[in-house]
Amino acid sequence: MTEKPYKLASRDYHPESTVISLPALPGHDPVLIGGKEVVLVAGPCSVEPREIMRQIARTLKTHGVGLMRAGAFKPRTSPYSFQGLGVEGVRILREIRDAFGLRFVTEVMDTRDVELVAETADIIQIGARNAQNYSLLKAVGRTRTPVLLKRGIAGTIEELLMSAEYIMSQGNEQVILCERGIRTYERATRNTLDLNAVPLLKQWTHLPVAVDPSHGTGSRDLVIPMAGAAVAAGADMLLVEIHPSPSTAISDGAQTLDHDQFADMILRTAKIAEAVGRSLRSS
């Protein structure tokens, strides 16, 4: 056996797959991430105004999707771009959570906000730009909230696992690894979605693996095929951006599915899940 620099994340020392369980909401089963079901997470890139958030929440409920994504704190390339609604965005997430009984995945960017985000999020997201922000990784490692850790913009698979190790070394072993595309010489797509990472990570680690085909492609037309490919490759979770009117979304409209496309994605992806002996979580 080759010695792995990531001990807690390695399958060598923990052969059985980790299944992360989100507690059951009234009238629902608990959500298990890393089990037989492929868990779908969908929502806007940024927290949107309340009425749009409610529209998206209703669509998720219609399809039986129990987990919503939306960023209150947004890592933007330009300091002049919209930076997210911040604390007000977190307040909106709480309102939607309480009104619709949805769970949330939302990003934290600053160690000072970890407590606030951990109180509201069912899963805390560490974005690609913070994949090697070691003080932030340690801070979320001190919480007991599951963490969705995105692969760095140009991060290797081993670096992703070492970042997971930072979180786990603080006692939080509930880490989901997320392939979201990497920077390559190819500019036809926003990023190159490295689906090699999925079966490789499943071999190297016991942690659940998520795929984000929205950031992985940057282009709405490519999201549905790559969501299917991710499930075929063995992904345990899909993270997709949706909005009732993507062209008016606050951020990332070009890679955002509208609600009809989202319904289509669910139908197509469910068939692929079935073909590989799994099912798409729909309750």
Chain residues in the site for Mn ion (CB under 5 A): 45, 252
Q: How far apart are CA 120 and CA 122, in angstroms?
A: 7
Q: How far apart are CA 147 and CA 139, in angstroms?
A: 11
Task: Report which residue's Cβ sits closest to Mn ion.
Answer: 45
What are the backbone angles phi and psi of residue 147, rounded to the nearest 5°?
-120, 130
Tell me if 141 contacts ligand PEP by CB under 6 A. Answer: no
Give the per-residue contact string, 49-88, with ligand PEP (x = CB under 6 A; - = no). Answer: ----------------------x---x-------------
Q: Count of alpha carbons within 13 Å of 1, Cβ hemisphere only?
A: 9
* Binder of residue 142, out of Mn ion, ligand PEP, none (CB less than 5 to 8 A by kind): none
Give the total residue count for the chain. Answer: 283
* Binder of residue 75, out of Mn ion, ligand PEP, none (CB less than 5 to 8 A by kind): ligand PEP
- Evaluate whether 64 touches 283 at the Cβ level (below 8 Å): yes
Question: What is the DSSP code (8-state) at residue 207?
Answer: S
What are the backbone angles phi and psi of residue 107, rounded to the nearest 5°?
-85, 145
Residues facing residue 243 across a β-bridge: none
* Residue of the chain from 43, 66, 84, 127 that contacts ligand PEP (CB under 6 A): 127
- 3-state class of 151 per DSSP? coil
Tell me if 45 contacts ligand PEP by CB under 6 A. Answer: yes
Tell me if 234 contacts ligand PEP by CB under 6 A. Answer: no
Residue with smaller CB distance to Mn ion, 43 or 141: 43
Closest CB 181 distance from ligand PEP, rounded Å: 8
Residue type, 164: A
- Evaluate whether 176 touches 147 at the Cβ level (below 8 Å): yes
Closest CB 282 distance from ligand PEP, rounded Å: 22
Closest CB 45 distance from Mn ion, rounded Å: 3
Residue with smaller CB distance to ligand PEP, 22 or 42: 42
For binding to ligand PEP (CB under 6 A), which residues are involved?
A: 45, 71, 75, 127-129, 150, 180, 212, 215
